[in-house]
Amino acid sequence: MIGRYTRPEMGRIWELENKFAIWKEIEVLACEAQAQLGQAGITVEEAQWIRDHANFTVERIDEIEKVTNHDVIAFTTCMAEYIDADIPEGAEKPSRWVHYGMTSSDLGDTALSYQITQACDIIIADIKQLGETCKRRAFEFQNTLCVGRTHGIHAEPMTFGMKFGSWAWALKRALDRMEQARAVAATGAISGAVGTYSSIDPFVEQYVCEKMGLTPDPLSTQVLARDRHAQVMAALAVTAATLESIAMQVRLLQQSDVIEAEEPFTKGQKGSSAMPHKRNPITAERVCGLARVVKSNAQVAFDDVALWYERDISHSGAERVALADSFIALDYMFGKMQWMLDGLQTYPAKMEHNLWRTKGLIFSSKVLLALVDAGISREDAYVIVQRNAMKVWGDIQNAVDGPTYRQRLEADEEAMALLTAEKLDEIFDPWDFLTRKDVVFDRLENLEF
What is the spatial distance between Cα 223 and Cα 243, in angstroms, rounded to a whole number? 33
Write out the catalytic residue numbers: 151, 272
φ, ψ dihedrals at 91, nearest 5°: -80, 155
Per the CB < 8 A criterion, the answer to whether 60 and 81 are in contact is yes
φ, ψ dihedrals at 146, nearest 5°: -155, 170
What is the spatial distance between Cα 73 and Cα 269, in angstroms, rounded to a whole number? 51
What is the spatial distance between Cα 334 and Cα 313, in angstroms, rounded to a whole number? 32
Length of the chain: 449
Amino acid at the residue 295: K
C-alpha distances (whole Å) from 208 to each of 2, 13, 16, 198 are 33, 20, 21, 18
Helices (H) and strands (E) in the chain, counts: 18, 6
Query: What are the residues whose beta carbons fall under 8 Å from the beta carbon of 297, sequence distance 6 or more?
Result: 233, 236, 237, 322, 323, 325, 326
- Measured over the CA atoms of residue 321, residue 322, residue 327 and residue 333, the dihedral's sign is positive
What is the spatial distance between Cα 362 and Cα 359, in angstroms, rounded to a whole number? 8
φ, ψ dihedrals at 145, nearest 5°: -70, 140
Q: Can you state the angle between helices 364-373 and 378-397, rounded to 10 degrees?
A: 150
